Structure 1
Amino acid sequence: MSSNDIDPSIAALLNESGPASPSFGMDFEKMILEQEAEKKPKKDNFVPEVDLSIKEFKEVTHVYNDSPADWFEDPNFYKTAIAGEGQASQRLHQVLSKYLTCKDVKDRMVYRQQVIMAYWEFIHSIAPKMADKNADITKRMLVRFAVLLPSLFKPEQKELFEKTILDNETNEPVFYLDEWFRGIATGKIKCSTTDEVRQPRKAGNPEEAAVQEQQRLMQLQSKNSGKLQNAEALLNVKESERGMLEAELKSRIDNLCDHQPVPGCDPHKEGYTETQRKLLSDITNYLHQLSKNDKELTKALNEYKDAMEVYNSVTDKIAMGPDITTVNTGDIDTEFETVRQMAKMTCGRQGNQFPIFTREFYHCLPQGTGFRENVVNILKWVESIDPGAFCRIHKNMPNRIVPFVVLLPTYGDYGFCWEPFDRYNRVTSRGRIVVPMYPRDLKIAVLTAVADLRWQVAKEKASYYWMEEGLTGQYYEWIDKQKLKGDLKQYFIQDYVLWMTKESDGVQRLDKEVRGIFWRNIPFPQALKDTLKTRSLVYDELCKKDRNREMSDGY
């Protein structure tokens, strides 16, 4: 890289072109309709709500656009990206110039550390601007992919990134960093939890107070939306159960009321047969079951009505409130520090923490790059092997809740779970997992994040007894017997990766006892179990134990 690739001063960055001239070739009626549409407040609903009726990921076939965009073709890309951020722009420009032109190895290491600090200070300055969905595309691409200098691309890499899909067409809660900042700034997504307790910021004027109240209502709506769906799902189960019981009851009553005529004694008919007498006790049992079902159904219906009333009330208040356009800078500042910590964690202490995209460090294949569509397809693969990966049990009902997935443009190799669910809504809130975009193996990066999520959800479910009960308790007891030292969760994550990548293919890599723990607590789908039992006696024996548990009392 020569010094010619770097602009000599920040002053040149201030060159701006004037606004484009308006076009008058538009149909008059169409223009009026568009003007009327612009007057109406536009609700920004780019964050998908939790929908318990969705049972699986849809396969993403549209991974790239057919033709590349021109995001990185602008010769003034660097100028536009770095302009307008004051001291942060100047500092980044100066240290990056020194780093790229330095020949001495030791000095280059010093400048490299300065680039890391200056870059994150610069991103901190840009982050609030991501709240606007129409923000400058150059700055969005900088935050999304960490691309500051297009000259650091190889030609094929530039074309690949220009073919990526700009907006979220998957309707899954998978976000690039610019979209994540936008969700935080507009109140669509709550700030990630931290060890430090944040004090609520007081509103400085009535307009700011109204925006804060609107954000509070939107968070309350999201929480109640989950409660409403859960109540409706439970109600549907009870109604379905009632329908089945009533159908069985009608069938038995019909059989009970069917009497054959007595030969030679017309019009008289025979009494109950032996089979019909047995139906009397069956009918009594069904009546008892219907009585129990009616009590549970009535309770579920009342819960559904209450949830519906609260949800409609909050929705009406939101409709009457202002559309949120004010950036919540306090939340952005807090979330930025969290994201900075997340980026470090994806790389680890010994990892490559250089924050800017460069061909020197990018060695991923197209399908191994953490684009949204690639990550969704890997999540679909994970769920096909581990159907309970994103399920939480509430009132004996599994609720499938896909976590928020934050895609960070780092060279890290490991994903992780930041929080398993919202501390104030454990039933239907989304957890948060983080996935690096430029790892050595994207599938492993996603698997480590899902494994971390699995562990934390199981640990929270067992609460104080996590070392004694459930998945975490059984695994802890095995680790304790083996007298292994180190991070318990890291052992679990490593074994989970082997479970998903090796054991699912019939390749035995886990300890026998660990395999049994995973078989019971992280079961494969039945079709995969049936396939595995034909490959090895080990899996056949596990299937036999499953059948024995099914036949035993209390299974």
Structure 2
Amino acid sequence: MFQGEMDPEIAALLGTSQNPGQPRPPDYSSLFEDGEELEQLETPEVDLMEERFPEITKRFESVPHTAFEDPNYYKKVLSGEGDAAQRVHTILQKFVNAKDPKDRGVFRQQLTNAYWDFLLGIARRTPGKLSDPQKYTLRFGLLHPNFLEPESKEFFAKLVDDNYLSQPVYYLDEWFRAVGTGVIRNSSTDEVRVAKNNTQIKFQQLLDKAEGKRDGARNLLRAKSEERTILENHLTEKVDLVKEHYPLEGFPDIYSCYTESQKRAFQDIQDIIKNLIKSDRDLDSFMRDFNQAEQDVQTLRDKIEEAGGTVQVDVRAIDTEFDTVRQMAKMTIGRQGNHFPVLIKEYFRSTPNDIGYRENIISQLAWVESIDPEAYCRSYKNKLNRIVPYVILIPSYGDMGICWEPFDRFNRATSRGRIAMPMYPKNLSIAVLSAVADLRWQVAKEKASYYWMEEGLTGNYYQWFTTKKFKGDVKEFFIQDYITWVTKESDGIQRMEKELRGIFWRYIPFAQPIKEKLKNRSYVYQELYQRDINRSMSDGY
């Protein structure tokens, strides 16, 4: 991939001149008031040097905000949304006042559809300045503060608003703002097609691709530099060994000959020097690749600025993403779950520890990584890169997190995947584990490509699955087994069959301290631990 030359696709595009008569995309600025400042959300860049999540230093504000105490909260939520707001208000009144359970069920369904249509109008305004009531309605599903108990309302009022940890975990208002202003591209769907004459979007796609190459080149540079340092340390050890001499007996000024181990060190030194020369040559090549990739990135950024790279609102992108998020919400809930989109005490059953607010999600993701250290890793040129996915927090009563896409189709090297998390599940740990398992499966499946039923994690699991003659979705079975792996087997509670445990031990390895603990707990784990040692001593590991 890295040949020290500009990507042909980038070079071809940069060589074209824009037609002055070419029609520009429609202007959607009329959606916002004159002089309104558009807010562009800073998205955390992928840092391949980052090894773990940051420490959570603040979960709640010391003084809660007062937005939920505003007597005009409900009016401000509906303000400016026209017929959609009127429809929500009318149906909501009928729903709240209905006595007959059948009538209430009908109004409940009508309100669900009307609310989503109404919410789209608020989503379109996210690049501008939303009122606090509209922001919290989009973020938490809190249409009216009186729909919650006082203690629950106080809990939500204390949640930290800003992303002080700079992690890729987004509330819906932040997510739509990032998509609408072009900071984050739309989530992939089969229906999305980019207009051929939209040069700016094409530039953005090429920029994503170029940034992936640059980040990959940087990681290869770091790995090769570490490799050279290790070789130099080995060389120093061998030279120190060769220099060790002791005086001959009776001849204090004459030192002994080389021992057999010192003579063997000469050959080791020759091999190390050959490897050092090769490593340095690779380092020089990788440096040229990185410099070229960095130049490509800068060139594309300049072109985007020339093409009008200032913050612009793409309402069509928000509309498309809104439909996608609605599908995400349905998937987190499932067919038999509660699809009511408004946060009310009648359905709100989550304990504070199970509410999916940002800091809680980050804490759960860190917990999973402490057990499965490769949970957010992808292999690139035989080097594991830790790339935390985008996490979209959806205010739904779902119980399962889902992976929407394992990585950006324009940048497979270093782009983030996307997972959606329900904010009000019965068990947040299970919801997070299901999302991570889904991510794990899809990354492994994409890596194996056409051979996903034969090779790697998915191949071995699929073959075991078919041998057992199970029926149903193989991925759903895998997700449940992953949950068992992390919650039970990591503590030495043996719930898996021997063959299945071997597959997970090989392809979803525990952190080393957990392995050390388990090997002393049971012969079952001791045998698996020994297999690791045997594989590490062979070329096939």
Please, what TM-score do these two structures have when normalized by structure 1?
Answer: 0.85
Q: Could you tell me which residue of structure 1 aligns to residue 85 of structure 2?
A: 89
Q: Could you tell me which residue of structure 1 aligns to residue 341 of structure 2?
A: 355
Does 1:103 find its partner at 2:99? yes
RMSD over aligned CA atoms reads 2.6
Q: For the Cα contact (< 8 Å) 1:408–1:437, is it kept in 2?
A: yes
Q: Could you tell me which residue of structure 1 aligns to residue 112 of structure 2?
A: 116
Of 69, 80, 95, 2:65 maps to 69
Does 1:433 find its partner at 2:429? no
Does 1:151 find its partner at 2:137? no
Q: Could you tell me which residue of structure 2 aligns to residue 170 of structure 1?
A: 165
Q: Could you tell me which residue of structure 2 aligns to residue 287 of structure 1?
A: 273
User: What per-residue deviation string (whole Å, max 9, x for no partner) do you get for residues 483-528 of structure 1?
Assistant: 1101100000000011111111111112221111101100101110
Does 1:48 find its partner at 2:44? yes
Q: Which residue type is aligned with residue 397 of structure 1?
A: K
**Cα offset for 1:175?**
0.3
What is the alpha-carbon distance in structure 2 between the residues aligned to residue 332 and residue 471 of structure 1? Answer: 36
Of 482, 500, 503, 1:514 maps to 500
Q: Could you tell me which residue of structure 1 aligns to residue 354 of structure 2?
A: 368
Distance 1:250 1:413, change over 3 A: closer
User: What per-residue deviation string (whole Å, max 9, x for no partner) do you get for residues 410-453 of structure 1?
Assistant: 11111110000111211111100000001111111111011000
Q: Which residue type is aligned with residue 412 of structure 2?
A: R
What is the alpha-carbon distance in structure 2 between the residues aligned to residue 546 and residue 522 of structure 1? Answer: 13
**Cα offset for 1:128?**
1.1
Structure 1: which 5+ runs fail to align? 1-37, 204-211
Q: 2:392 is paired with a residue of what secondary structure?
A: strand
**Cα offset for 1:245?**
2.6
Q: Which residue type is aligned with residue 210 of structure 2?
A: N
Matches for 1:351-500 after TM superposition, within 5 Å: 351-500=337-486
Matches for 1:218-297 after TM superposition, within 5 Å: 220-250=206-236, 252-253=238-239, 276-297=262-283
User: What per-residue deviation string (whole Å, max 9, x for no partner) do you get for residues 346-394 of structure 1?
Assistant: 1111110001110000011111101000000000000000000000011
Q: For the Cα contact (< 8 Å) 2:39–2:177, is it kept in 1?
A: no
**Cα offset for 1:320?**
6.3
**Cα offset for 1:291?**
2.8
Q: State percent identity of aligned pairs.
A: 50
Q: Which residue type is aligned with residue 166 of structure 1?
A: D
Distance 1:380 1:156, change over 3 A: same
**Cα offset for 1:306?**
1.1
Q: For the Cα contact (< 8 Å) 2:46–2:387, is it kept in 1?
A: yes
What is the alpha-carbon distance in structure 2 between the residues aligned to residue 319 and residue 186 of structure 1? Answer: 14
Q: Could you tell me which residue of structure 1 aligns to residue 488 of structure 2?
A: 502
Q: For the Cα contact (< 8 Å) 1:239–1:297, is it kept in 2?
A: yes
What is the alpha-carbon distance in structure 1 between the residues aligned to residue 514 and residue 48 of structure 2? Answer: 25
Of 515, 529, 539, 1:543 maps to 529
Of 125, 131, 140, 1:136 maps to 131
Q: Which residue type is aligned with residue 177 of structure 2?
A: R
Distance 1:60 1:531, change over 3 A: same
Deviates more, 1:261-270 or 1:291-300: 261-270
Q: For the Cα contact (< 8 Å) 2:41–2:177, is it kept in 1?
A: no
Q: Which residue type is aligned with residue 478 of structure 1?
A: W
Please, what TM-score do these two structures have when normalized by structure 2?
Answer: 0.87
Structure 2: which 5+ runs fail to align? 1-34
User: What per-residue deviation string (whole Å, max 9, x for no partner) do you get for residues 165-218 of structure 1?
Assistant: 111112110000111100110001110111214242867xxxxxxxx73x6655
Q: Which residue type is aligned with residue 198 of structure 1?
A: R
Q: For the Cα contact (< 8 Å) 2:208–2:411, is it kept in 1?
A: no
Of 320, 344, 350, 1:334 maps to 320
**Cα offset for 1:113?**
0.7
Number of equivalent positions: 506
Q: Which residue type is aligned with residue 443 of structure 1?
A: S
User: What per-residue deviation string (whole Å, max 9, x for no partner) do you get for residues 20-63 of structure 1?
Assistant: xxxxxxxxxxxxxxxxxx9xx99845211111010111231311
What is the alpha-carbon distance in structure 1 between the residues aligned to residue 245 and residue 424 of structure 2? Answer: 76
Q: Could you tell me which residue of structure 2 aligns to residue 196 of structure 1?
A: 191
Q: Which residue type is aligned with residue 96 of structure 1?
A: L
Q: 1:446 is paired with a residue of what secondary structure?
A: helix
Q: For the Cα contact (< 8 Å) 1:187–1:219, is it kept in 2?
A: no
Q: 2:378 is paired with a residue of what secondary structure?
A: strand
What is the alpha-carbon distance in structure 1 between the residues aligned to residue 221 and residue 134 of structure 2? Answer: 48
Q: Could you tell me which residue of structure 1 aligns to residue 11 of structure 2?
A: none
What is the alpha-carbon distance in structure 2 between the residues aligned to residue 276 and residue 56 of structure 1? Answer: 42
Larger-Rg structure = 1
Q: For the Cα contact (< 8 Å) 1:471–1:517, is it kept in 2?
A: yes
What is the alpha-carbon distance in structure 2 between the residues aligned to residue 140 and residue 507 of structure 1? Answer: 44
Q: For the Cα contact (< 8 Å) 1:404–1:430, is it kept in 2?
A: yes
